[in-house]
Structure 1
Amino acid sequence: MDLVIRNAKVVSKEVTEVLDVGVRNGKVVKIGKIDGMASKEIDASGKFLLPGVIDVHTHIEQLSGDNLTCDDFSDATYAAAVGGTTSILTFVIQQKGKSPLESVSEKMVSAKEKMYIDYGFHIAFTDVNERTIAEIPELVNMGIKSIKVFMAFENSNLMVSDYDLIKLMEESRKYGALVGVHAENEDICVNATENLKEEGFTTLEHYYKSRPEIAELEATNRAITFAEDIDCPVYIFHLTSSKALSKIEEAQQRGVDVIAETCPHYLLLDKEEFESDDAYLKVMSPPLREKKDQDALWKAIKAGAIKIISTDHCPYTPEQKAVGKNNFTTIAPGIPGIQTLLPLIYSKGVASGKISINKMVEVLSYNPAQIFNLNNKGEVKVGYDADFVIFNPDTKQVIDKDYLKMKSGYSPFAGLELKGKVETTVLRGKIIYDQGKFVGQKGKGIYINRK
């Protein structure tokens, strides 16, 4: 065998067992007691062997309005690998006047030579018409089986109408594509923002009021209503609030195929962050909510109503963010997070007793692979890609400048001490990060055709 990992606590969504895992030609070929030698052996006694994390919500090399995210595909996937992520899905935003296929082709060319880990794409439709909708079958054939729709951000040329959303759902249903939504009611957000501006309340402590909970509640319910009527699944990106969650749970109980994700910042941070001196570094959309919402989200993860935790990695430098330091209407919304997903959820979810390590594997690896058709990934299983993380639960690390590899140079969780540490990341049988040393190769990440 090429690689044997011995005596590891191998974690699946159901159980944790001490086992050996053998790898040949990038695939898992044996799990159990393995005799004999391999080209490379690792003794993982006392450590967890986790399937590689799959981050399905990232914005890399993305232009939103006048704001270009600060990292490219190599920067982002380098940091991801350090944090135990071995596959990502990232967005292609269709630019006005371009076809979705044209937009995808440009992103593929840029990504091919830069990726350190495996990758796939979502397509975000912004210009919906008969010609662009007709490209859905070809997109699906290319393995791009997920379509995002923004129900907000009209001024940024991202928002589509309800008519267009319905048309996309109808067409996607025919070809087995999954439509996901950024669920915020544009009119509610615009009205709230205009009211705050008239009163002179545009500093960051007022930001969360500009995109109130009711905006997410209404848009989530509207997307569910369309999906239920059309009889198609719908994916809710970055769920933040207990009220919107209640609509999802009600729909799931009725048998509606509504899938929800949330993000570490909504689980661990709240609106009080907008009163801090570095509040400008913590502005994203939708905004942070209240502690009660955090509690509801954790409970929904444990119960299975929320299927995925992802990062919504949308990084800008502090200098880019500082443009809106004193006025939330001019800030670039988005925060970095691609490196810290696994460490945060283990430390603040598993080690703190909110969820089991098996549930963590389910929402970070297994469910992302199943829901988004990442074949042969998401599990430590014979025949599957040998994407692993060796995780030491008995060490600690601090999120500081020495730890962070993200090009943004900061994290909204800066200074936080975490329990547990990624020691080794393995991609298709090859070690790409080990004991603080990065040994991966740029361009070795493979495009995942999800058809």
Structure 2
Amino acid sequence: MSQRETATNQQPFLGVPSSQSAGGIPYLKSFLVVVVAILITSIISWQHAKIVQKGTQSHVSFPCGSFSVVSFPFVLRSTRVVTENGTFPASIFVDRNGLISRVVPGLVEDSSWGCLHDVGDLVIMPGLIDPHVHVNEPGTKSEGFNTATLAAAAGGTTLIFDMPLNSHPACTTYESILEKRRIANSRQLWVDVGLIGGMISGNLETLSDQIFRAGVVALKSFTIDSQAYDFPPVSIQEAEQVMRALRNLSIDGEIRYMIHAELASSKFSPNNYEGPSMSYMAFMRSRPDSFEVNAVQALIELSRKTHCPVYIVHISSADAAELVKQAKEEGIQIFAETCTQYLAFAADDIPDGHPEFKCVPPIRPNGNRKRLLRYLLQDNLFDLIASDHAPATPEEKCLEQGNVRMAYAGISGLQYRLPAVWTALRSYGVTFEQLSYWLSLSAARIFHVDDRKGRIASGMEADFVIWDPESLVNITENWCFHRHKKSAFLGKQYYGEVKETFLRGSRIFKSDAERGKLGTVLQYPRGIIIRNRLVEE
């Protein structure tokens, strides 16, 4: 840790020889008088500066200097601090353990606590949580724990949950989970990581307390061909068995069952459909709304029968969302996730030959997007907004050929979630508290980490994203920390620049926009593998 910088108005100490001649004493007295006068003048000027600046956006007492390395404890403050009780000027006291000691309304100046980091009018929100990220390590060259967590930090996200697809896909045995943890812990983790286990067809017998003891926080299944040969889908009957088993397991607390909800006929083949290979609309028609509607309807019935909650990932169809709305009104516990791309893009605007927009379920027409927005904003249907970050190499995405049919289905967008979502919603009068709920707090509650994540409150971990909602960001490859830079978000302009990200009080990212760079990672990685709160480390 660096030492606090010396105040700029402090005078340097001038040593005086220990032995002085009698004739030198008058000069010493004169010298001391001058030094005292200078000190008094400096103190008066400093106090005057405080009075003049009091009530303004920036204060100068006890600054953290460059703040490149945090000196604990410290005070972080802004005129816009987002809490469960609203957004208001506040000062956040962070202790030596990287925890929030207290949150005090107003812009206090408490020199006894530590250095002061005043960010003016920038918004301070809890660090974001993304429960749907494909790190894809080990097994592929498309991403990795180091680059994924680095991109997360640059996007204001301080906790990600890693999905099993393409990364030890089955991930249902004690040994495979321990191996995944070992690999993750051997990498530089810039943010915290939670591991999702895979639940595949025919492997119900592996569902036991043991895999959760290994640290899995949730399970994931497909009800349609995942295009991963060793991650076959579950049938609806198998999904019911899993849900009943989850209810009967002797786990003190609920393990979430996350499901990719599409149902197709047995003749369905992901890349075998009519239309030109470069046509996005031909691809979209190959994954119609009915696939989602059929799956969601079946899962709602299973939840009703088994009394087991179900978490439906990446809902893209407004028709499927309507079924979720009806189920929630009935009192059935359904967690509904939608994703950045379904709010930010519309199929009408996607040109042919651009496979970077291909994902499953597909991005649908603008009328569908507007309905999703209505369900989100008016009906409070969606519990959260995830990225479903699903990266691929340029070869896997068939970028050079523009072949949508054969391209890997997934969009790279972990780093862009905050600005893209904010830009899609800001004109609708969305509050910062709502945004924080969809991007952080709700996920913390669903996955049982709300005792330490997702809120700015006393006792919580000091995870923050500091961002400018009025600042425009041009998404370019130079502003990307993902391993592979090509993305559907490239070339877009969004409101909401992430300025700084903190993990347990350490600033892990700072924007460097004034120098034309993305930013600088300022702290050695401190991320950890998040385990179920009920499992002993």
2:205 is equivalent to residue 131 of structure 1? yes
Single out whichever of 330-339 and 433-442 deviates more from structure 2. Answer: 433-442
Larger radius of gyration: 2
Q: Take 2:510 and 2:115, find their aligned partners in 1: how far apart are those partners? A: 13
Query: Does the C-alpha gap of structure 1 residues 432 and 154 become closer, same or farther in structure 2, counting only changes over 3 Å?
Result: closer
Offset from partner CA, 1:327-364 (integer Å, 9 cap, x none): 544221111111001111222213x2252221100010
Q: Percent of aligned pairs with the same residue?
A: 27
2:415 is equivalent to residue 344 of structure 1? no
Contact persistence 1:7–1:45 (CA under 8 A) = yes
2:265 is equivalent to residue 180 of structure 1? no
- Shift in Å, 1:140: 2.9
Q: Take 1:188 and 1:99, find their aligned partners in 2: how far apart are those partners? A: 25
Task: Please name the residue that 2:334 is paired with.
Answer: 258
Task: Please name the residue that 2:268 is paired with.
Answer: 190
2:90 is equivalent to residue 19 of structure 1? yes
Contact persistence 1:95–1:127 (CA under 8 A) = no
Q: Work out which of the residue numbers 176, 190, 215 in structure 2 matches 1:103.
A: 176
Query: Does the C-alpha gap of structure 1 residues 28 and 183 become closer, same or farther in structure 2, counting only changes over 3 Å?
Result: same
- Shift in Å, 1:185: 0.8
Q: Work out which of the residue numbers 268, 278, 284 in structure 1 matches 2:359.
A: 284
- Shift in Å, 1:62: 4.9
Task: Please name the residue that 1:249 is paired with.
Answer: 325
Offset from partner CA, 1:197-243 (integer Å, 9 cap, x none): 4xx54433310011111001101111111111111101010000110
In proportion to residue count, which structure has more helix? Answer: 1
Contact persistence 1:424–1:434 (CA under 8 A) = yes
Q: Take 2:173 and 2:206, find their aligned partners in 1: how far apart are those partners? A: 7
Q: Take 2:433 and 2:176, find their aligned partners in 1: how far apart are those partners? A: 38
Structure 1 gaps of 5+ residues are: none
How does 1:282-361 map onto structure 2 within 5 Å?
282-302=357-377, 303-322=379-398, 325=401, 327-350=403-426, 352-353=427-428, 355-361=430-436
2:495 is equivalent to residue 422 of structure 1? no
Q: Take 2:473 and 2:492, find their aligned partners in 1: how far apart are those partners? A: 9
Offset from partner CA, 1:132-169 (integer Å, 9 cap, x none): 12x3x123334423111100016634311222211110
2:215 is equivalent to residue 140 of structure 1? no
Task: Please name the residue that 1:369 is paired with.
Answer: 444
Higher relative contact order (CA 8 A, sep 6+): 1
How does 1:426-441 map onto structure 2 within 5 Å?
426-436=502-512, 437-441=519-523
Residue identity opposite 2:255 in structure 1: A
Query: Does the C-alpha gap of structure 1 residues 189 and 253 become closer, same or farther in structure 2, counting only changes over 3 Å?
Result: farther
Contact persistence 2:466–2:501 (CA under 8 A) = yes
- Shift in Å, 1:106: 1.8
Single out whichever of 413-422 and 78-87 deviates more from structure 2. Answer: 413-422
Offset from partner CA, 1:169-201 (integer Å, 9 cap, x none): 01112232111110011327817965x34xx54
Task: Please name the residue that 2:75 is paired with.
Answer: 4
Q: Take 1:234 and 1:379, find their aligned partners in 2: how far apart are those partners? A: 24
Query: Does the C-alpha gap of structure 1 residues 260 and 160 become closer, same or farther in structure 2, counting only changes over 3 Å?
Result: same
Q: Take 2:185 and 2:137, find their aligned partners in 1: how far apart are those partners? A: 16
Query: Does the C-alpha gap of structure 1 residues 440 and 223 become closer, same or farther in structure 2, counting only changes over 3 Å?
Result: farther
- Shift in Å, 1:394: 3.2
Output the TM-score relative to the length of structure 2. Answer: 0.77
Residue identity opposite 1:124 in structure 2: G
Single out whichever of 115-124 and 156-165 deviates more from structure 2. Answer: 156-165
Task: Please name the residue that 2:133 is paired with.
Answer: 58
Q: Take 1:130 and 1:261, find their aligned partners in 2: how far apart are those partners? A: 25
Contact persistence 2:261–2:292 (CA under 8 A) = yes
Q: Take 1:216 and 1:272, find their aligned partners in 2: how far apart are those partners? A: 20
**SS of 1:321 mapped into structure 2:** coil
Structure 2 gaps of 5+ residues are: 1-71, 513-518
- Shift in Å, 1:105: 1.5
Residue identity opposite 1:87 in structure 2: L
Contact persistence 2:163–2:197 (CA under 8 A) = yes
Query: Does the C-alpha gap of structure 1 residues 99 and 51 become closer, same or farther in structure 2, counting only changes over 3 Å?
Result: closer
2:186 is equivalent to residue 113 of structure 1? yes
What CA RMSD, in Å, does the superposition of the two structures yield over aligned residues? Answer: 2.3
- Shift in Å, 1:37: 4.7
Q: Take 2:433 and 2:316, find their aligned partners in 1: how far apart are those partners? A: 23
Offset from partner CA, 1:247-271 (integer Å, 9 cap, x none): 1001001100001011110011122
Single out whichever of 89-98 and 39-48 deviates more from structure 2. Answer: 89-98
Query: Does the C-alpha gap of structure 1 residues 113 and 192 become closer, same or farther in structure 2, counting only changes over 3 Å?
Result: closer
Contact persistence 2:126–2:454 (CA under 8 A) = yes
Q: Take 1:412 and 1:22, find their aligned partners in 2: how far apart are those partners? A: 39
Residue identity opposite 1:36 in structure 2: S
Q: Work out which of the residue numbers 511, 514, 529 in structure 2 matches 1:447.
A: 529
2:456 is equivalent to residue 380 of structure 1? yes
Contact persistence 2:133–2:160 (CA under 8 A) = yes
- Shift in Å, 1:435: 2.9
Output the TM-score relative to the length of structure 1. Answer: 0.91
Contact persistence 1:266–1:289 (CA under 8 A) = yes
